[in-house]
Amino acid sequence: MSTVRYRRQQVGNVELFYREAGPRDAPVILLLHGFPSASHMFRDLIPLLADRYRLIAPDLPGFGQTKAPPRSTFDYTFDALADVIDGFTEALSLGRYALYIFDYGAPVGLRLAMKHPERVSAIVSQNGNAYVDGFSDEWGPWEAYWRDPSEANREACRPSLAADTIRNWQYGTGTDRSLLPPDGYELDIAYMARPGAEEIQLDLILDYRSNVALYPDFQAYFRAHRPPLLAMWGRHDPAFIPAGAEAFRKDLPDAEIHLLDTGHFALETHHREIAAGMRDFLARTLAR
């Protein structure tokens, strides 16, 4: 079994924490986590793929173990997160990689793909949305905040960050609770309790509207560059419904879609199924 190493890389005024495993000369998979998590969400997946691939999983600024500046000196937007991850790939000389995109990692990764389409060998989307079709009817407070960024609407989004919401709604909805380890959600809850964490997340919730505005550009990238795409999607996700996975076929007719009997954080219960699907997909795709 390949050893997982825990490293740090300075990118501007951000000290990125990341996990890395696998042979240095193997094809690279860049794993981008979602909200409100960090690279620890890949803790079970990485060992299942590290015999054949070099896996690199950074914590985004504002998440996990990455050390980022305060809000007063760093703009917590998705453009800024993508710029940092772009600088990270440059620092590690990652000239070619497959993208694993989940939740917030999707708009970050797709910004990279639009900027450097020649670098992206394939995309694995695990509940990583790029179509309005994928939105459930649970986005009301966030959408109200996007339309009117008042203090009242900001406060109305704060329950999204509460421990019970993380534990029971984000992780628990549609998941077999007997298979759901507490480690992931309890760590996410602890990260959210750190000083200043909620305000950073509320800034990103407001800026999420920039991702929706970019959906037509993401879709144009798909049509222009035809990246091989595999969607491994928790079908009971309360935020991103299966229609978001099926929508990839509008612009990528050959996209491979697999709906899993679980929720948003599908890796917590279905990492073996996702690893098996990725091994098959990437073996065929990268060989071409």
Per-residue pLDDT tens for 193-252? 999 999 999 999 999 999 999 999 999 999 999 999 999 999 999 999 999 999 999 999
Q: pTM of the predicted model, to two decimals? A: 0.98
Residue 183, token pair as written in the block: 């480690």
Contacts of 62 (CB under 8 A, 6+ apart): 68, 76, 81, 197, 200, 201, 204
- Residue 5, burial from CB neighbour count under 10 angstroms (0-12, 13-18, 19+): exposed
**101 vs 107: CA distance, rounded Å:** 8
pLDDT at 54: 98
**CATH of segment(s) 5-136+213-287:** 3.40.50.1820
What secondary structure letter does DSSP report for 116? -
Closest to 46 (Cα-Cα) out of 90, 89, 6: 6
Helix (H, G, I), strand (E, B) or coil at 204: helix
Whether residue 34 is predicted with pLDDT greater than 80 in this model: the reply is yes
**171 vs 94: CA distance, rounded Å:** 32
Rounded to 5 degrees, what angle do the CA atoms 140, 142, 147 make? Answer: 95
Closest to 247 (Cα-Cα) out of 134, 140, 142: 134
pLDDT at 150: 98
Q: Which residues are catalytic?
A: 264
CA distances (Å), 173 to each of 141, 165, 180, 231, in order? 19, 10, 11, 20
pLDDT at 60: 98
- In whole numbers, what is the pLDDT of the chain averaged over residues? 97
Q: Comparing 42 with 68, which gets the higher pLDDT?
A: 42
Whether residue 1 is predicted with pLDDT greater than 70 in this model: the reply is no
CA 186, 71, 100, 89: dihedral to nearest 10 degrees?
-130
Residue 261, token pair as written in the block: 């009997």
pLDDT at 287: 77
Q: What mean pLDDT comes out for the span 19-38?
A: 98
**102 vs 75: CA distance, rounded Å:** 22
